[in-house]
């Protein structure tokens, strides 16, 4: 029972200077299906989407869409829209200061005048029929992120939409909101819209998708029915190798740390963003802060590094009292900090990979002691090799690397300073499975070599795999500490949920 | 990878930003050579003091651009670090020049008083630079607004310094700085530019100023998390620009042997900003190449001299200048750049033997 095909892409090729982003990729979308597009970072997902939406023009290949006999060429997002291809991006691209109805119809009028009443009626009807809990006259900014996302989708589907592209729509939503979004997606599917679903979350793919197309290194790996592709196999296909390690890396080292020396100790440490807390970490220990978003876990590690203004507390490093109120002081004490928000706080977008790698060490060395070009080059090459950073050269601006590789560059930046204590806040967010595993392995290896690491991740399994001690936070307070046999998902959940000691 | 190589743009990315000022200079050179083949000929003639010195349009372009080049160097740093421009450089040069003249006028003009005068005017200008910098870095006022203060009041301050007079300073030493040092055929301002350029080169070589300024300009938050004090870096950029203003002010005073606080280096701030832009630097801050700004400054001066050589009335020069600048700025715009690189890609593809299989269209 082959369903009617709505979109075919054949032999799509696209190159950028230095990189072949897509080579000979095929993609088929049928009416009324949810089709997941999977691949690691740099696999070519976004490029394919951008070719389809007219942001990039393809070098070779043909695109056909249901209802038009000839192959079409899409030169701009507006043209894509006219062909019935709509996109909703990860970041919400609507205006939060306008009303829901205005957002749905803005820029779509044909005349110079706007029929407000008509518009609101139409919007109301559409919202009702899609079951979106928003009123037309409500200001968009007052809706939750999920509802805003849904409004964006409503806007997209209202224009005779055949193909709806959802690019990482769930990355900033919580579970309940994801559920709402999925039911909307299923609803649209019933109406015959073909949906392309791009995401990093494997579970979500299996929850809603009918079919999966996997890309790797700009090439098509294959198209599969969801039922015929177990999760492990999907991951293997995305990575291009059998899934080694991911399940295997488990703390086989015993967590008896009674004789370990304390490296860092904080008493009543507080910053403008965090409440006073006590914390310590041993030499060679990997521990982690866990808790829900907003529980204060990031704020706590930022206080340790002096990233926010420190307002009080005593800090000891190797048993000696030290003052850490600014990042530079923390760096001088041998502390490194990989920030949660890579784009905003991590990368220096326009600078080269080389400059991004040497930055922290260079700052520590001082304003009047720049590294020679050869020395900087040597450092960069060493870490590009060690961490297997995929970049055209060390001169390439970091912004043209994929997310996972950018993260590796930031990691390299701190490893180059040879810290005694490394804080990693969400090092694996938004990056591909392969790199995630690499980073987790790296953390354990560093600890083995005597480095202390504090690790934060939204994915509990990841924390359980890497940390030997978990500090659980709720409402900006530490509510528990789990070690040894207590390190199970259930225990963490219960502690987060309110088993206050 | 190998395949992609053939489509690489025809200039290494590092140097592509210098393309626009170089094209501008190249076109002006060609234009002038067609109009007058002898335009760039350099001759040696005796000057007023009887020494043989270099003469010709090329010399007067390089000489005349000196103040602008020095200011555009400093402006590049401020632009990169703060993401904004300092519009008070002309006013600050007037203040610096007035201080310089004030010192010279306080006694006989000797070598020492000239050096003392320069050091003092340099310090004063750096303090005013620090004032601008504090407003921008500590109080986070937009650079254009912050420097609007000094832009507005600077020439009045210069007026007070010399009690409202427009004194002349005449001395062989002043002439030596403003035109020629006896025995050296190259105009002194050109030498001062070279020295300033060397100083900047040494600063970039032996300090991390370049890396820090770019880091702060691109991502201030990340700069802080890497231990860079962005307030201090912005302040430093403004102080360095202050020093540049004092050098430019001194050159101009010596060139004219007088100071007129109302007209000295008037409107030069706009040319300095323009030089930075023509040099391919983003006025939004971040990555910069100082060479680009320098080339941009020379291109502007070459344009001015060309127009004068064509006997364009001085009242009309600005209008013609504007036309050329519009062309340059449009050429340097992202839209045109992209179109050009697409055009180049197509050319280079056509040059390759036609590959078997389906074509692009």
pLDDT of A215 > 50? The answer is: yes
A107 and A40, same structural domain? Answer: yes
Strand partners, A19: A16
* Best of B222, B350, B361 to mutate (most A CBs within 10 Å, chain A): B222
Q: Does A328 touch chain B (CB under 8 A)?
A: yes
- pLDDT recorded at residue A498: 64
**Exposure b/e, A213-243, CB count within 10 A at least 16 = b:** bbbbbbbbbeebebeebeeeebbbbbbeeeb
Residue B57 is part of which domain span? 2-351
Task: Check A11 against B358: CB less than 8 A apart.
Answer: yes
For residues A500 and B125, which has the higher predicted lDDT (pLDDT)? B125
Q: Does A17 touch chain B (CB under 8 A)?
A: yes
pLDDT of A193 > 60? The answer is: yes
Distance CA A23, CA A11 (A): 7
The CATH number for A152's domain is 3.40.50.300
Does residue B361 fall inside a structural domain?
A: no
The CATH number for B329's domain is 1.10.3470
- Number of neighbouring beta carbons within 10 Å of residue A252: 7
Residues 56-115 of A with CB under 8 A from B: 59-60, 73
Does residue A463 fall inside a structural domain?
A: yes
Q: What percent of chain B has pLDDT over 90?
A: 63
Q: Which chain A residue's Cα is nearest to B205?
A: A370
Strand partners, A99: A139
Q: Does A390 touch chain B (CB under 8 A)?
A: no
- pLDDT recorded at residue A140: 86
pLDDT of A236 > 80? The answer is: no
* Of residues B229, B210, B236, B208, the one with CA closest to residue A328: B229
Distance CA B252, CA B269 (A): 15
Q: Write out pLDDT tens, residues B137-176.
A: 999 999 999 999 999 999 999 999 988 888 899 899 999 9
- pLDDT recorded at residue B41: 87
pLDDT of B293 > 80? The answer is: yes
pLDDT of A73 > 50? The answer is: yes
Reported as a pLDDT band with limits 50, 70 and 90, residue B350 is: low
pLDDT of B5 > 50? The answer is: no
- Number of neighbouring beta carbons within 10 Å of residue A367: 18
Does residue B16 fall inside a structural domain?
A: yes
Does residue B359 fall inside a structural domain?
A: no
Distance CA A480, CA A369 (A): 45
Does residue B103 fall inside a structural domain?
A: yes
* Best of B201, B225, B287 to mutate (most A CBs within 10 Å, chain A): B225
A486 and A351, same structural domain? Answer: yes
Place of tokens 């060490």: A361
Contacts of B205 in chain A (CB under 8 A): 370
- pLDDT recorded at residue B356: 40
* Of residues B347, B6, B335, B349, the one with CA closest to residue A59: B349
Does residue B245 fall inside a structural domain?
A: yes
Q: Write out pLDDT tens, residues A285-339.
A: 999 998 766 678 889 999 999 999 999 999 999 999 999 999 999 999 999 999 9
A429 and A296, same structural domain? Answer: yes
For residues B296 and B348, which has the higher predicted lDDT (pLDDT)? B296
For residues A172 and A397, which has the higher predicted lDDT (pLDDT)? A397
pLDDT of A33 > 80? The answer is: yes
Residue A470 is part of which domain span? 262-497
- pLDDT recorded at residue B302: 93
A274 and A232, same structural domain? Answer: no
- Number of neighbouring beta carbons within 10 Å of residue A256: 9
Reported as a pLDDT band with limits 50, 70 and 90, residue B245 is: very high
- pLDDT recorded at residue A294: 66
Q: How far is A493 from chain B (nearest CA, A)?
A: 32
Q: Write out pLDDT tens, residues A461-482.
A: 788 888 999 998 877 888 889 8
Partner residue opposite B224 with nearest CB, options A16, A327, A395 = A327
CA angle at A374 for the pair A373 and A379, rounded to the nearest 5°? 100
A272 and A235, same structural domain? Answer: no
Task: Check A337 against B225: CB less than 8 A apart.
Answer: yes
Report the pLDDT averaged over residues B180-193.
Answer: 93
pLDDT of B4 > 50? The answer is: no
A332 and A214, same structural domain? Answer: no
Strand ranges in A39-174 using DSSP code E only, listed in sequence order: 60-65, 85-88, 163-167
Does residue A254 fall inside a structural domain?
A: no
Does residue A121 fall inside a structural domain?
A: yes
Contacts of B228 in chain A (CB under 8 A): 328, 363
A268 and A222, same structural domain? Answer: no
Lowest mean pLDDT among A48-52, A249-253, B88-92: A249-253
- pLDDT recorded at residue A256: 53
Does residue B61 fall inside a structural domain?
A: yes
CA angle at B301 for the pair B295 and B305, rounded to the nearest 5°? 140
A178 and A301, same structural domain? Answer: no
Reported as a pLDDT band with limits 50, 70 and 90, residue A109 is: low
- pLDDT recorded at residue A297: 87
A178: tokens are 């994801």
Task: Check B221 against A331: CB less than 8 A apart.
Answer: no
Reported as a pLDDT band with limits 50, 70 and 90, residue A259 is: low
Reported as a pLDDT band with limits 50, 70 and 90, residue B255 is: very high
Q: What is the mean pLDDT of chain B?
A: 88
Report the pLDDT averaged over residues B334-347.
Answer: 81
Lowest mean pLDDT among A288-292, A408-412, A413-417: A288-292
pLDDT of A364 > 70? The answer is: yes
Contact A151, A169 (CB under 8 A): no
SS3 A225: strand
Report the pLDDT averaged over residues A45-67.
Answer: 88
- pLDDT recorded at residue B11: 44
- pLDDT recorded at residue A451: 93
Distance CA A360, CA A331 (A): 8
- Number of neighbouring beta carbons within 10 Å of residue B185: 16
Does residue A245 fall inside a structural domain?
A: no
Reported as a pLDDT band with limits 50, 70 and 90, residue A383 is: very high
Q: What percent of chain A has pLDDT over 90?
A: 36
Q: What is the ipTM of this complex?
A: 0.85
Write the DSSP string, B73-108.
HHHHHHHHHHSS--TTHHHHHHHHHHHHHHHHHTS-
Candidate ranges A64-73, B119-128, B348-357; pick with highest mean pLDDT: B119-128
* Of residues A188, A92, A101, the one with CA closest to residue A146: A92
Q: Does A19 touch chain B (CB under 8 A)?
A: yes
Reported as a pLDDT band with limits 50, 70 and 90, residue B1 is: very low
Torsions phi, psi of A338, nearest 5? -95, 115
Report the pLDDT averaged over residues A412-424.
Answer: 95
- pLDDT recorded at residue A80: 86
Kindly report the three-state secondary structure assignment for every residue of B286-304: CCCCHHHHHHHHHHHHHHH
| Strand order from edge to edge, sheet including A469-474 | A335-338, A421-425, A452-456, A286-290, A469-474, A477-483
A406 and A361, same structural domain? Answer: yes
Number of separate domains in chain A: 2
SS3 A279: strand
pLDDT of A92 > 70? The answer is: no
pTM for the predicted model, two decimal places: 0.76
Lowest mean pLDDT among A15-19, B107-111, B306-310: A15-19
Task: Check A347 against B229: CB less than 8 A apart.
Answer: no
Number of separate domains in chain B: 1
A234 and A150, same structural domain? Answer: yes
Q: Write out pLDDT tens, residues B67-82.
A: 999 999 999 999 999 9
Lowest mean pLDDT among A200-209, A232-241, A402-411: A232-241
A161 and A102, same structural domain? Answer: yes
Report the pLDDT averaged over residues B316-330.
Answer: 86
Residue A474 burial (C-beta neighbours within 10 Å; 0-12, 13-18, 19+): buried
Distance CA A288, CA A466 (A): 9
Q: What is the mean pLDDT of chain A?
A: 85
Residues 346-365 of A with CB under 8 A from B: 346-351, 355, 359-360, 362-364
Task: Check B225 against A328: CB less than 8 A apart.
Answer: no
Write down the H helix ranges in A159-310.
175-190, 202-208, 231-239, 297-305
Place of tokens 């989708």: A153
Q: Does A20 touch chain B (CB under 8 A)?
A: yes
Contact A266, A314 (CB under 8 A): yes
Reported as a pLDDT band with limits 50, 70 and 90, residue A112 is: low
pLDDT of B294 > 70? The answer is: yes
A138 and A225, same structural domain? Answer: yes
Chains A, B: CB pairs < 8 Å: 100
Task: Check B225 against A17: CB less than 8 A apart.
Answer: no
Reported as a pLDDT band with limits 50, 70 and 90, residue A241 is: low
- pLDDT recorded at residue A338: 95
Q: Write out pLDDT tens, residues B27-63.
A: 999 999 999 888 888 888 887 777 888 888 899 999 9
- pLDDT recorded at residue B38: 86
pLDDT of B10 > 50? The answer is: no
């Amino acid at each position: 029972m082959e369903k009617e095909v709505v979109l075919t892409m054949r032999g799509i090729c696209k190159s950028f200077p230095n990189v072949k982003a897509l080579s000979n990729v095929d993609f088929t979308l049928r009416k009324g299906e949810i089709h997941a597009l999977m691949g690691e970072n740099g696999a070519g997902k976004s490029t394919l989407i951008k070719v389809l939406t007219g942001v990039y023009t393809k070098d070779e290949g043909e695109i056909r869409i249901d209802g038009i006999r000839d192959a079409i060429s899409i030169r701009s997002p507006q043209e894509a829209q006219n062909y019935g291809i709509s996109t909703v991006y990860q970041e919400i691209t609507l205006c939060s200061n306008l009303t829901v109805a205005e957002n749905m119809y803005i820029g779509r009028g044909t005349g110079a005048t706007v029929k407000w009443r008509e518009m609101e009626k139409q919007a109301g009807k559409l919202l009702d029929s899609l079951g979106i809990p928003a009123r037309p006259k409500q200001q968009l900014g007052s809706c939750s992120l999920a509802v805003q996302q849904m409004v964006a989708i409503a806007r997209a589907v209202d224009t005779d939409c055949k193909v709806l592209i959802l690019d990482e729509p769930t990355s900033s939503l919580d579970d309940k909101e994801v559920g709402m979004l999925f039911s909307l997606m299923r609803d649209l599917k019933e109406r015959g819209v073909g949906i392309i679903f791009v995401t990093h979350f494997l579970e979500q793919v299996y929850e809603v998708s009918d079919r999966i197309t996997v890309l790797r290194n700009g090439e098509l790996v294959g198209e599969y029915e969801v039922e015929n592709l177990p999760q492990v196999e999907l991951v293997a296909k995305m990575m291009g190798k059998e899934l080694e390690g991911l399940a295997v890396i488990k703390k086989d080292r015993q967590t008896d740390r009674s004789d370990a020396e304390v490296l860092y100790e904080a008493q009543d440490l507080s910053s403008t963003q965090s409440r006073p807390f006590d914390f310590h970490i041993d030499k060679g220990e990997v521990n982690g802060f866990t808790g829900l978003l907003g529980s204060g876990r990031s704020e706590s590690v930022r206080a340790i590094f002096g990233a926010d203004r420190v307002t009080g507390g005593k800090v000891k490093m190797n048993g000696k009292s030290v003052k850490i109120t600014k990042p530079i002081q923390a760096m001088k004490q041998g502390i490194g900090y990989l920030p949660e928000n890579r784009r905003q706080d991590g990368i220096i977008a326009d600078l080269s990979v080389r400059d991004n790698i040497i930055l922290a060490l260079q700052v520590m060395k001082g304003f009047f002691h720049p590294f020679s070009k050869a020395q900087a080059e040597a450092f960069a090459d060493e870490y590009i090799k060690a961490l297997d950073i995929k970049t055209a050269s060390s001169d390439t601006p970091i912004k043209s690397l994929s997310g996972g590789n950018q993260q590796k560059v930031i990691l390299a930046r701190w490893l180059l300073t040879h810290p005694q204590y490394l804080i990693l806040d969400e090092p694996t967010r938004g990056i591909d499975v392969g790199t995630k595993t690499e980073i987790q392995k790296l953390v354990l290896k560093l600890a083995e070599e005597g480095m202390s690491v504090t690790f934060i991740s939204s994915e509990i399994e990841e924390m359980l795999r890497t940390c030997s001690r978990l500090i659980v936070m709720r409402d900006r307070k530490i509510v528990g500490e789990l070690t040894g046999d207590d390190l199970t998902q259930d225990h963490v959940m219960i502690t987060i949920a309110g088993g206050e000691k | 990878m190998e395949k992609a190589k053939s489509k690489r743009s025809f200039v290494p990315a590092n140097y592509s930003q210098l393309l626009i000022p170089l094209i501008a200079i190249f076109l002006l050179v060609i234009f002038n050579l067609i109009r007058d083949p002898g335009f760039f000929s350099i001759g040696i003639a005796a000057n007023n003091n009887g020494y043989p010195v270099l003469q010709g349009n090329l010399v007067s372009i390089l000489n005349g651009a000196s103040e602008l080049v020095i200011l555009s160097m400093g402006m590049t740093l401020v632009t990169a670090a703060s993401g904004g421009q300092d519009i008070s450089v002309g006013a600050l040069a007037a203040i610096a020049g007035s201080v310089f003249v004030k010192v010279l006028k306080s006694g006989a003009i000797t070598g020492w008083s000239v050096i003392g005068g320069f050091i003092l005017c340099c310090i004063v200008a750096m303090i005013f630079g620090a004032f601008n910098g504090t407003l921008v870095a500590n109080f986070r006022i937009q650079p254009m607004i912050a420097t609007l203060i000094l832009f507005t009041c600077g020439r009045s301050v210069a007026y007070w310094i010399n009690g409202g007079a427009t004194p002349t300073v005449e001395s062989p030493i002043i002439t030596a700085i403003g035109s020629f040092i006896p025995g050296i055929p190259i105009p002194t301002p050109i030498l001062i530019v070279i020295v300033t350029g060397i100083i900047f080169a040494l600063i970039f070589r032996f300090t991390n100023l370049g890396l820090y300024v770019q880091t702060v300009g691109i991502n201030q938050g990340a700069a802080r998390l890497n231990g860079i004090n962005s307030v201090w870096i912005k302040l430093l950029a403004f102080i360095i620009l202050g020093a540049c203003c004092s050098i430019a002010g001194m050159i101009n005073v010596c060139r004219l042997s007088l100071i007129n606080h109302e007209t000295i280096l008037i409107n030069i701030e706009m040319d300095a900003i323009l030089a930075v832009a023509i040099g391919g630097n983003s006025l939004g801050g971040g990555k910069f190449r100082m060479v680009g700004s320098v080339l941009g400054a020379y291109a502007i001066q070459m344009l001015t001299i060309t127009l004068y050589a064509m006997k364009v009335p001085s009242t009309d020069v600005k209008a013609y200048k504007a036309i050329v600048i519009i062309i340059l700025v449009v050429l340097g715009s992202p839209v045109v750049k992209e179109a050009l690189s697409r055009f180049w890609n197509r050319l280079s593809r056509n040059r390759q033997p036609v590959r078997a299989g389906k074509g692009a269209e």
